[in-house]
Structure 1
Amino acid sequence: MDLMRLDSADWLARNAAGSVHSPLPSQRQGTESAPGNSPEDRRLNVEASDSSEPLGATGASGLETPIASAASVDVPDRPDAVDQVNAFAKAMTEDIWQEIVEGLPGSPEEIRKIRLQLADHGWCDLFIGFVLVLEKFGKVLDTVPDKAKRLIVETIRGSSKQEKRTQLTEEVVGMIVDKAWNAFKTAAFAHSPLLGLLASDELLRNLRMLAVFICPAPEKHEEVRKHAVDPLVKDTCGYVSAEAKEWLGKQFDQWVAGVERHVERDGAGEAGRAGEPPIAHSSPA
């Protein structure tokens, strides 16, 4: 998981530097996106097709000379991936945190417990809830606000980490989701119009990376593995190197093999009483 996080951070850094298509370092060589298939390439293609100016002019020598750069078409540069991730992280955590604290019900001691339990995978579950909403509804969020918010609440309340978070009641989670929902829509569509240009797959990438970065232990959080790690690993844009994919696959296979050996030796029931984790439904690789 550390390798996977490093790869994602490296991809963001290369994107910000304008060299997202440059190869990873030799020891981190991974799957690169096909030419013209990345979000940035798609953006440039759209800008080129929408421009009334030709892409180039043929001179007397028969060589095409470029004219009308992206800047001259007066199309604003969309924020790079780092700025996108920062914008969503700030809007959905820092900007609403004081409002959430002030809205928490109960005594100071009860509020302290709620805050501690929110730190127990509560924020990564929140981001995964938004991932599920985008997967289901795309960017057409204004037409289904109640359904979308309900899905996020159910994601948090139904999380594999919820059993020990007794203070995260329906009321508390609903209030947090409501504030986060408004912050997300503001960041994505209103406050920063440039972010409104992003495609659904770009929004999903940002939210998945945030979930992986903010999660205390992605390897122990089933929802983060399934809805954030898996899609990032499998994405053709090459967010994760071949080396990290190989390690993730090996570690998962070893874990599953260990559980199966324990079950064969002691029986499934006894293994359950011993507190062994169940076999996961999907591989992180």
Structure 2
Amino acid sequence: MLARDPSPVARQEARDDSNCRWAAAPPPIGRRQPSSRRKAAATDSATADLVDWLAENPDTIERIQTVGDVLTGPVIEELDKRFGGSKPREARRRLADHFWCDLLATLAEAIEKFSKTMDQIPEYVTTAIMQSRKTDRRSPLLEPLVGLAVRTAWEPIKSMIQATGIEDLQRTCRILAVLICPAPENHKAVQDGALLPLAKEGMLEISRERLEQVFPAEWVHRLREGLGGA
């Protein structure tokens, strides 16, 4: 909605809010880890950059809407039918625990990894999501449920590759993953699979600097390596 608004006022207000949150969350003293508020403010700054970029690239907004419609339409319908049982709302609530952003970020990585062997992507994505959720100690999900969601989402998304190209589709999935993630600062799959490549691609320097202050040194090294040491 912000990106589609022809007026920049609301976008600037969102950026001002993120700047205020950053200023209100002081840097850690000594060897302490950055606070969760400071991490959230850094990712909010990055999100503001993405929204501004989308405002200048309306074609990508439409692609993001298309992918979002796939998730909220046929994917949810299939999951409700097979796994909703008598309490579909409860099943949906469990999926709200970083599942959708997991799916998008991992799909973006898989598209690059398997660009020549597309049929392997659903199996790879399903396995990767199951492993990452276990590592991050997120609420457990049945593997058949994850597999069904991935396969149902993948078919229409795969058809977009011929129309938009692999790079545009990856960018679409990555941006949507960041925008819908409830807390990118606490979600490693989104940090590595979406935020990092987007930061390399064209995020404002101030946002990159803030991310570097709150994320681990190894993550920062990968970011700077992708920027050619800039």
TM-score for the superposition, normalised by structure 2: 0.70
Q: Deviations over 1:229-274 (max 9, x none)?
A: 0100011xx2x1111111111223xxx5xxxxxxxxxxxxxxxxxx
Pair 1:108-2:113 in alignment: no
3-state DSSP class of the match of 1:104?
Answer: helix
Q: Does the CA-based 8 Å contact 2:103-2:125 persist in structure 1?
A: yes
CA drift of 1:213 comes to 0.6
**Residue in 2 aligned with 1:202?**
168
Q: What are the ranges of 5 or more consecutive residues in structure 1 without an aligned counterpart?
A: 17-79, 190-195, 257-279
Q: Deviations over 1:96-141 (max 9, x none)?
A: 3223211216x424x4443222100000111122112212022x4x
3-state DSSP class of the match of 2:97?
Answer: coil
**Residue in 2 aligned with 1:184?**
157
3-state DSSP class of the match of 1:163?
Answer: coil
3-state DSSP class of the match of 1:248?
Answer: helix
Pair 1:152-2:125 in alignment: yes
**Residue in 2 aligned with 1:249?**
212
3-state DSSP class of the match of 2:57?
Answer: helix
Structure whose residues are more often helix by fraction: 2
Q: What are the ranges of 5 or more consecutive residues in structure 2 without an aligned counterpart?
A: 1-42, 224-230
Paired residue type of 1:132: E
**Residue in 2 aligned with 1:81?**
60
User: What is the alpha-carbon distance in structure 2 between the residues aligned to residue 251 and residue 151 of structure 1?
Assistant: 30
After superposition, the CA RMSD in angstroms is: 2.2
Q: Does the CA-based 8 Å contact 1:121-1:216 persist in structure 2?
A: yes
**Residue in 2 aligned with 1:231?**
197
Q: Does the CA-based 8 Å contact 1:96-1:179 persist in structure 2?
A: yes
**Residue in 1 aligned with 2:20?**
none
Q: How many equivalent residue pairs?
A: 179
Q: Does the CA-based 8 Å contact 2:105-2:189 persist in structure 1?
A: yes
- Identity among equivalent positions (%) equals 32
**Residue in 2 aligned with 1:5?**
47
CA drift of 1:160 comes to 4.1
3-state DSSP class of the match of 2:156?
Answer: helix
After the TM superposition, which segments of 4 or more aligned residues of structure 1 sit over 6 Å from their partners? none
3-state DSSP class of the match of 2:182?
Answer: coil
TM-score for the superposition, normalised by structure 1: 0.57
**Residue in 1 aligned with 2:97?**
120
Please say which of residues 222-231 and 86-95 is displaced more in the overlay: 86-95
